[in-house]
Each structure stands twice: as structure tokens, then as C-alpha cells.
Structure 1
Amino acid sequence: MAKQQPYKKEPSNKRPLEKKKEPVKKKTTLGMIWEIVQTLLMAAVLYFAIDYCIARVRVENISMETTFTEGQLLMVNKLNYKFSEPKRGDVVIFEAPKAPGEDYIKRMIGLPGDHVEVKEGKLFINGNEIVEEWIHEPMIYTGSWDVPENSYFVLGDNRNHSSDSHSWGFVPRENLVGNAFFRYWPLNRIRIINNEIVLPGEEEIAAIKEEKNGTGTN
């Protein structure tokens, strides 16, 4: 019986199929210019969107020492007061009522309806003594103020060296620019700014309101 010869595959003369290379589209000068224009437009839109929401301010005087010193740079939320109410303790930027076109930076102390009093070097809001960690010397002036509707009472943290509501009056609501929320210069002093003043009983009232809003009524 003859041995079966192993099957040998005949060599093929066909070459393997090669993938067709897509021609590389060369960018025309006009196309490159259009891409640059698009990039510039997007950058401009982004810049103006950020500028509409956030301002960058430089501390120019000593009225907020030692919290903020001259030359420090802050970011200001310009939208906050368009959708929510100012809070006591906010660091606010506003157009000075007595100097149109000039912005001041101060501490929000009194809200509409508040009774603010300074006596014996201490601050009182609605009869409650306020202990402020950012104050390092007692106030040398005295006075009492009832904050009217749509107005605010502001003071500099450097109380005895600040031009503020104790000397020239209240800040109208429409003069508020926004609240400083972040210090980004100098680098070794970077921090989020949040110093709310909460009066006795306000936390309990806020908790009750939140509970009511959470349960809701039909």
C-alpha cells in the first residue's frame, strides 16, 4: 500500500490586499485662518462669561486689616446677590454712596430691619453682643443705627481706621457688587473667605424652615 504524500499548499501568486490610504487633506490658508478665528471667539466668550460672574479686586487700603492687607488679591462673586440675600459677616464689595464710581470693601454687619449699636467698645446686633474673631482692638466710637429697608450697615475690620457706615450711613441694595469668596494672592495666604455672623436662635429658626420646606404641604 502506497504511502500518502503530505498535502503541500501551492504558493499563491496573489498579493495580500493592501488598505487604501486615504489622501491627507491639506489645510488651506483660509481654513487655518478660520480655525484661529474660532479659537479667538471661544476665548473671548469664555473671558466675558467669567468676567460677568467673577471680579478680581486688589485691596488698596488698611480699613480691613488685619483680615486683608494692602496688595492682596481677592475674587468676588458678582452673581450671588442677584439670586440670594447678603449675610451678616460677608466681605462685600460695593460702590461707595459718597464716592460714585469708587468701590469699597467692608464687612456686612447689619441687614434691613436690624438695630446696630456700638457701646463700650463692643458691637451689638438686635441686643446681642457680637464677638468677632477678626477684631483686635475695641472700638473708640459709639452710636446706634436702625437699618432701613433695602439698605445695609457695613464696617471695616480695622474699626478705628475705616470710613464706613458708622461715619457716612447705609449702603443701598443697588450699590452691592458682590461678596469676596477667595483670596488668591499672596500664595502663602490663599484661603476661602467665609465668616458668617449667626445671631442666637437663628440656627434653630433656619433648621425649622428647612424642615418645613423638606416635608412640604399639599
Structure 2
Amino acid sequence: MHDELKPSQAQQPARQVTGWIRDFVISIAISAFIIIFLYQPVVVEGTSMLPRLEDQDRLFINKVAYRVGDIHRGDVVVFNYPRDPSKSYIKRVIALPGDTLEIRHGRVYVNGNLVPEPYVPGRFRDERSVVLQTVGPESYWVMGDHRSVSSDSRDFGAVGRKYIYGKAVLVFWPFDQMGVVR
């Protein structure tokens, strides 16, 4: 006796392959949507955000956060460098539009109050000072946590909101440093 395949049994492997292809295409489409519109992986280049972010760390940035919400003091943001928008920088927001800012011997004062900065170890401070100034509208004063090596608003001024395109949210590589960016 011969075993004959019924037409539905013969088509079953083809349907499975078609299903896998469909699922793969849907997965790629969802991934592309997330990367293009919601989250983007970035690589930290340099040591200006030590000790939390190290050179070559990989992290995700939220690209929607500032389209729908406000930028806050302490946020770690990614922005296009105003003097060369083809370069991206990552820094911490220190002062908001309308804030007065002064740096005396490495200590930061916003609106006359000393800013507690537990993310800046003493060995990473520098003694540079910045005279009292007011942050302009739609601009943000940003600084690296490793103050002695960071090129930041002390060098290039406040960053316009139009240059800020993401909020650092999660380090995913290396695995032993995985965690939320604070």
C-alpha cells in the first residue's frame, strides 16, 4: 500500500514557511519602528560622563521623551553638537531656560542654590568658574560628570532644545554595567 499525501498535508510545510517569513517580516517592521521612532542604541565615545558611563558603553536613548515631555535638571541627554551637528554629545542637564547659573571653584549654583551633585566624584571636579549668567529661552546648560575632561556648556555655551534629540535611559553593554541611567 502506498501512503498518499492529501493536498492539505502537502501544503502544510509551505504554510509553515510562509508563516515564519510573515512573522520575521513583522518582527523586522516592529523593530524598525522602535529604532526609528522610539528608542535608538548609541555608543558612548569618550570619558566625559565617567564614572557612570564609560567609553564604548552601549545604551538606549528615548527619542520620544522630549517630543512629548519636558527636559529636567539631572537628565542625561544626547544632542547634536551645535558647532558641528554631524557629531553627537552626551551630557547631563544642569540648568533650564531662565535659570541663573554660576560656577565658583567647580561648585555649581543654579538660581543662587548650590546644586548637590552626587554623580560627580571629587577627583573629577575641576576648579573652573563661570560668571553669573542666565540661560536663554529654549536652551539648556549641560555638563559632563567628569568635569576635568569634559567639553560642555562651559566651552560652547547653552545648547538649544532643537539640538537635543534623546534621553539616555538604559546601559545594555557591557552586561556587568547594565542598568538605568541616572
Q: Same fold (TM over 0.5)?
A: yes
The one-letter amino acid paired with 1:94 is F
In structure 1, how many angstroms separate the alpha carbons of the residues matched to 2:7 and 2:25?
31
CA distance in 2, matches of 1:188, 1:30: 43
- CA deviation vs aligned residue, 1:35-64 (integer Å, no higher than 9, x gap): 354233202211112102001111110111
Identity fraction in percent: 30
Within the candidate set 14, 18, 22, 1:38 is matched to: 22
Quote the Cα distance in structure 2 between the aligned partners of 1:74 and 1:41. Answer: 25
Q: In the aligned structure 2, how far is the partner of 1:66 from the partner of 1:153?
A: 20
The correspondence for 1:136, drawn from 116, 121, 126, is 121
**Which of 87, 92, 98 does residue 72 from structure 2 map onto?**
87
| Cα shift at 1:131 | 1.6
Separation of aligned partners in 2, 1:123 and 1:53: 33
The Cα of 1:23 is off from its aligned counterpart by: 7.4
Matched AA of 2:171: R
Secondary structure, in 3 states, of the residue corresponding to 1:158? coil
Report matched runs for 1:134-173 at 5 Å.
Answer: 134-137=119-122, 138-143=125-130, 144-173=132-161
1:4 corresponds in structure 2 to none
Counterpart position of 2:32: 48
- Output the amino acid matched with 1:101: S
Displacement of 1:123 after TM fit? 0.6
CA RMSD of the aligned region, Å? Answer: 2.0
The structure richer in strand per residue is 2
- How far 1:132 sits from its partner (Å)? 0.6
Q: Secondary structure at the match of 2:176?
A: helix
* Higher relative contact order, chain-length normalized (CA < 8 Å, sep 6+): 2
Deviations along 1:42-91, whole A, 9 cap, x unmatched?
02211112102001111110111112111211111111001000110011
Q: What one-letter code is carried by the residue in structure 1 that aligns with 2:61?
A: V
What is the TM-score normalised by the length of structure 2?
Answer: 0.86
- Residue equivalent to 1:62: 47
State the alpha-carbon separation in 2 of the partners of residues 191 and 123 from structure 1. Answer: 27
SS at match of 1:117: strand
Structure 1 residue 121 displacement after superposition: 2.1
The residue correspondences of 1:1-218 to structure 2 (distance < 5 A) are 24-27=8-11, 31=15, 34-51=18-35, 52-137=37-122, 138-143=125-130, 144-194=132-182
> Would you say how many aligned residue pairs link Structure 1 and Structure 2?
173
Between the aligned partners of 1:66 and 1:145, the Cα distance in structure 2 is 28
Cα separation, partners in 2 of 1:162 and 1:90, compared to 1, 3 Å:
same
Runs of 4+ in 1 over 6 A off after TM superposition: none
Letter in 1 for 2:52: T
Which runs of 5 or more structure 2 residues have no equivalent in the other structure? 1-5
CA distance in 1, matches of 2:127, 2:149: 10
In 2: Cα distance, 1:65 partner to 1:128 partner: 24
Cα distance between partner residues in 2 of 1:88 and 1:139: 20
SS at match of 1:148: coil
